[in-house]
Amino acid sequence: MDKTIQRLDQDRDTLLRMPELNQLTDRLEAAGLGGHLDELAQADATPDTAVGTFRHLWWSSVLDEARMRSPYLRSFTRTEHDHTIEQFQRLDRTHRDTNPARVRYEVATHLRQTRDAHPDQSTLVRTQADRKSRHLPLRRLVDKAPDVLMAAKPCWAMSPLVVSRVLPAARLFDVVIFDEASQVLPHDVITSIMRARQVIVAGDPHQLPPTTFFHRLLSGTDEHIHDDDDEATPDVFESLLDMVCSHLPHVHTLKWHYRSRDERLIAFANHTIYNNALVTFPGTTQASPLRLETVDAHTRPGHHGSSEEKVHRVVDLALAANAPVPGATRRGPPRAAWRTCSRCSSSPGIKERVRPLSCLRDMPVSSGAAGRGP
């Protein structure tokens, strides 16, 4: 008893909290956790161990209650679930592997029917294919043999900027599709839209609008140094997506986000921009994919915008992130790099560092036009 009184005297903070601790003990014992509390006390468990133990007990009881109330959870077995997943993956791979053969068969059947229906066009295309020189320009060939060419090549992919040079001014396609439409200028797509019966526009209104920053950088016309940092922001324009959103009869939102390898990469944007409307998936690693890069953000006298060190670091990270990966398609520098470099200083040194990023930047967004036929 004397030792106990001496220990309490040395730990007066705990002594003053004894009424509260007794109340908590009574509540735990009333909940049927008195035995677990005694085991923790006998083991002299640390606070973290005690908290982890009670959390495990709590979630175990929640799971047991859910199983009692849900027939589906009661009948769930991991073996059967794994078998279902394996079966779905196998059938999905089979479907994916057989689709190309099915598409090729449909295209070949339609092409044979079209050639039989248009023998003159078929003869012209064969003649041009057999020639080794002095071919007809593609624009004239499409004009003279549109049915056979569209049946042979139902899908065309090209930049909107070359459509007028390649295709005649005729409605050749069933549908024209614009991807990344938030990066496309409206006046660049008129020639593509007029050559199709329908248009599908895909894009994200929260992405950066079209800008001429890198075009001016490569052409050497961006030599003016702005006095105000806000004025150093690249010129932005209304995008194709902005123009058509208020006019298209059907607008659908794609909610499944699949590009981020870890949902922590999209979590902030999902919460602050998309109002938690995106469906994301947890990553497979415990290590965070985010890290802080600290640089000197002070600019030298006479310079404006981002500091040279900041731009150099962003360019290095962007180039490293866009290093060639076997089997992967590079889609351009990260958006953070694009925004930072577009607000950089006008000094020649920084321009030379930003120039490699412009090579990684996607060419003008392609428009894929699906031709007539199956």
Q: Any bridge partners for residue 367, and if so which?
A: 158, 178
What is the rounded average pLDDT of the residues 245-274? 84
Q: Give the sheet arrangement for strand 155-158, strand by strand.
A: 155-158, 367-371, 173-178, 196-201
As a whole number of angstroms, the distance between CA 110 and CA 123 comes to: 17
As a whole number of angstroms, the distance between CA 284 and CA 111 comes to: 47
CB 173 within 8 A of CB 197: yes
Among positive and negative, which fits the CA dihedral 264, 266, 272, 275? negative
CB 362 within 8 A of CB 150: no
pLDDT band at residue 325, thresholds of 50, 70 and 90? low
Distance of CA 278 to the CA centre of its chain: 11
As a whole number of angstroms, the distance between CA 141 and CA 102 comes to: 28
According to the model, what pLDDT value does residue 371 have? 37
pLDDT above 70 for 175: yes
As a whole number of angstroms, the distance between CA 294 and CA 291 comes to: 10
Mean pLDDT of the chain, nearest integer: 78
As a whole number of angstroms, the distance between CA 109 and CA 285 comes to: 48
According to the model, what pLDDT value does residue 220 have? 58
**Site of tokens 């593609």:** 138
**Exposure string over 262-295, b if 16+ CB within 10 A, otherwise e:** bbebbeeebeeebeeebebeeeeeeeeeeeeeee
As a whole number of angstroms, the distance between CA 107 and CA 102 comes to: 9
As a whole number of angstroms, the distance between CA 342 and CA 246 comes to: 29
Comparison of pLDDT for 62 and 238, the residue scoring more: 62
**Site of tokens 């059967």:** 80
As a whole number of angstroms, the distance between CA 32 and CA 13 comes to: 28
pLDDT above 50 for 365: no
According to the model, what pLDDT value does residue 119 have? 94
pLDDT band at residue 318, thresholds of 50, 70 and 90? confident
According to the model, what pLDDT value does residue 372 have? 40
pLDDT above 50 for 367: no
pLDDT band at residue 150, thresholds of 50, 70 and 90? very high
Q: What is the pLDDT of residues 183-198, one digit of tens each?
A: 888 888 889 999 999 9
Within 10 angstroms of residue 40's Cβ, the number of other Cβ atoms is: 16
